[in-house]
């Protein structure tokens, strides 16, 4: 079992599973394990996805909702292009899905709202030391990927955002996740926050919710999803704006 796959399953199975998998080589000498492994091998992807889907981020009752959900990082991209989009109520907005896909997409907000969706009350944890519980509704990223048909070598989804991070208007915020998170049950492109259209301060018109990860992975102001085999060639090469500034790429909670 490759290190990557072992980590993958260990994470999906939790602490007990991690301990079992740490002893993976020893276990492979037992009667049952090789059989399980051999059966699993050809359909590894779908089994892995099923296992990973079982590990859910905690969801909360309505009574746990925070009184408000603050904004952090960019609160308005402020570019001419974004201002024009916002002034038109995002009627001309298109979410581009391209890169390693058979079927590139350009989805209007109405298209996105028509896709299979999910609503969830979750806690957002920012590394700067604040948390908040909110209700998010959005299109399942799995549904968008199903429509775009990833090519066999696609491994990551890169999220390109509308907000420049440098004063000269360059260095747009971006993030990336792997397919394990992309196909996760709770991974959505959110268009509603607490049952109202996503405010500009929180990433209008669409932002990522990848609930098992920290705040900086929750990319706001999405313009484009690019499927890639590697993110080494994008910006600083570490898979995200904050990652290029020293944060961990995998920000699991
Ligand atoms: N495009 C973009 N996405 C972003 C950021 C940003 O500055 N720009 N900040 C990140 C950080 S650090 C956090 S904690 C959350 C904040 O989301 P909020 O503004 O809805 O609270 O968005 C994340 N996604
Ligand atoms: Mo954050």
Q: What is residue 44's predicted lDDT score, i.e. its pLDDT?
A: 59
Q: Kindly identify the ligand whose nearest atom is closest to the C-alpha of 127.
A: 2
pLDDT tens per residue, range 54-83: 689 999 999 999 999 999 999 999 999 999
**Confidence (pLDDT) at 50:** 59
| Nearest residue by C-alpha to atom 14 in ligand 1 | 215
Whether the per-residue pLDDT at 200 is higher than 80: the answer is: yes
- Average pLDDT (37-49) is 52
For residue 232, the CA-to-ligand 1 centroid distance in Å is: 22
- Going by alpha carbons, the residue nearest to atom 9 of ligand 1 is 73
What is the CB < 6 Å shell around ligand 1? 70-74, 126, 161, 163, 173, 202-203, 215-216, 218-221
Residue 39: the pLDDT is 44
The overall average pLDDT reported for the chain is 86
User: Which atom of ligand 1 approaches the CA of 222 most closely?
Assistant: 1
Percent of the chain with pLDDT strictly greater than 70: 79
Closest alpha carbon to 162 in 150, 171, 154: 171
Homologous superfamily (CATH) of 3-245 is Oxidoreductase, molybdopterin-binding domain (3.90.420.10)
Domain ranges of the chain: 3-245
Please compute the mean of the pLDDT values over residues 174-193 and round it to a whole number. Answer: 97
Residue 36 has a pLDDT of: 39
Q: Where are the beta strands (DSSP E) in the chain?
A: 95-99, 105-107, 117-126, 130-140, 156-164, 172-178, 188-193, 196-197, 207-209, 222-228
Which numbered ligand comes closest to the C-alpha of 190? Answer: 1
**CA-CA distance, 193 to 180, in Å (whole number)?**
24
Q: How far is the CA of 184 from the centre of ligand 2 (A)?
A: 21
Question: Each residue of 107-154: pLDDT tens digit?
Answer: 999 999 999 999 999 999 999 999 999 999 999 999 999 999 999 999
Confidence (pLDDT) at 55: 87
Is residue 43 very low, low, confident or very high in pLDDT (cuts 50, 70, 90)?
low
178, 229 contact by CB (below 8 A): no
Task: Write down the pLDDT at residue 8.
Answer: 44
Task: Specify the pLDDT at position 52.
Answer: 53
Give residue 46's pLDDT band: very low, low, confident or very high (50, 70, 90). Answer: low
Per-residue model confidence (pLDDT) at position 101: 98
Cα–ligand 1 centroid distance for 145 (angstroms): 23
């Amino acid at each position: 079992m490759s290190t990557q796959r072992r980590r993958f399953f260990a994470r999906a199975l939790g602490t007990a599973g991690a301990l079992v998998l740490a002893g993976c080589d020893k276990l492979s000498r037992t009667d049952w394990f090789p059989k399980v492994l051999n059966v699993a091998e050809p359909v590894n992807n779908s089994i892995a996805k099923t296992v990973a889907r079982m590990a859910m981020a905690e969801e909360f009752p309505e009574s746990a909702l925070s009184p408000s959900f603050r904004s952090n990082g960019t609160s308005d991209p402020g570019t001419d292009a974004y201002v024009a989009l916002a002034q038109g109520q995002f009627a001309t907005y298109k979410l581009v899905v391209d890169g390693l896909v058979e079927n590139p997409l350009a989805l209007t907000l109405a298209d996105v709202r028509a896709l299979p969706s999910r609503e969830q009350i979750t806690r957002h944890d920012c590394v700067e030391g604040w948390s908040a519980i909110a209700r998010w509704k959005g299109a399942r990223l799995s549904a968008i990927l199903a429509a775009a048909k990833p090519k066999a070598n696609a491994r990551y989804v890169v999220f390109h955002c509308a907000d420049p991070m440098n004063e000269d208007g360059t260095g747009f915020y971006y993030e990336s996740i792997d397919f394990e998170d992309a196909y996760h049950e709770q991974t959505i492109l959110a268009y509603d926050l607490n049952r109202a259209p996503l405010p500009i301060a929180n990433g209008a018109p669409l932002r990522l919710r990848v609930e098992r990860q920290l705040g900086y992975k929750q990319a706001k102001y999405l313009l484009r999803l690019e499927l890639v085999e590697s993110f080494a060639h994008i910006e600083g090469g570490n898979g995200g704006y904050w990652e290029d500034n020293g944060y961990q790429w995998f920000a699991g909670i």
